[in-house]
Amino acid sequence: MRNNIGIDLNFSCLYPYPAQRKDRRLRDRAEPSTDFTWEMDAPWNEQLKRSAATSPMARREIEFVYELERKLQQWEQAQKDRRKLLRAPVMTRVHIDGQEHMLACDVSTRGLRCSGRPKKATLDVEFKIPGLPFPIDAKAEVIEYFDRPVIPLVNMRFIDLDTPYESHIQDYVNRRLAHTL
């Protein structure tokens, strides 16, 4: 590829065409990795070494694309790890400080999906799960909000959840999923 400055840049080793198809189901079932390794380090390093003699502008562009690719790989790894947590259906009332209550649809150790309309981005929530005699108190932030006319949905992530509450939620999710399987 020849850019407008007149410098030859070869990105074919970095982007093989056609791109290999990734089977998301198999990738999502794999064990989560504890350390992040980027598969394209060797080709990028080779390109960066070759570009040492190129102009500073071309080198900046290569480094910029490198950073974008690295961030994309990190984001995909985070998404893969995020979907590992299992959710269990639950129908319970979620009390929120100073607002109308919502109805919880499902729960995991990381968050809660509810039907209702939130008034703030960060909420103090209190809800009960079956088999637990006391309510669970947590602070949650709204991640997604789908404003629908009939049933608006809210995805919330727990910001502040005590470890005993987290273990109770995990026990409930395991019991519920074992019962459905």
- Residue 27's pLDDT band, with cuts at 50, 70 and 90, is very low
Total-model pTM: 0.54
Encode pLDDT of 5-15 as tens digits: 555 555 555 55
Q: How far is it, in rounded angstroms, from Cα 144 to Cα 153? A: 8
- CATH topology for 88-180 is Thrombin, subunit H (2.40.10)
Encode pLDDT of 144-175 as tens digits: 899 888 889 999 999 999 999 999 999 999 88
Q: Is the pLDDT of residue 20 over 60?
A: no
pLDDT at position 127:
95
Encode pLDDT of 72-121 as tens digits: 887 777 766 555 568 889 999 999 988 889 999 999 999 999 999 998 89
Q: How far is it, in rounded angstroms, from Cα 181 to Cα 177? A: 6
pLDDT at position 99:
86
pLDDT at position 149:
84
Q: What angle do CA 171, 167, 77 make, to 5 degrees?
A: 95
For 100, other C-beta atoms within 10 Å of its C-beta total 10
Query: Residue ranges of the domains in the chain?
Result: 24-82, 88-180
% of residues, the chain, pLDDT over 90: 33
Please give the structure tokens belonging to residue 44.
């990028």
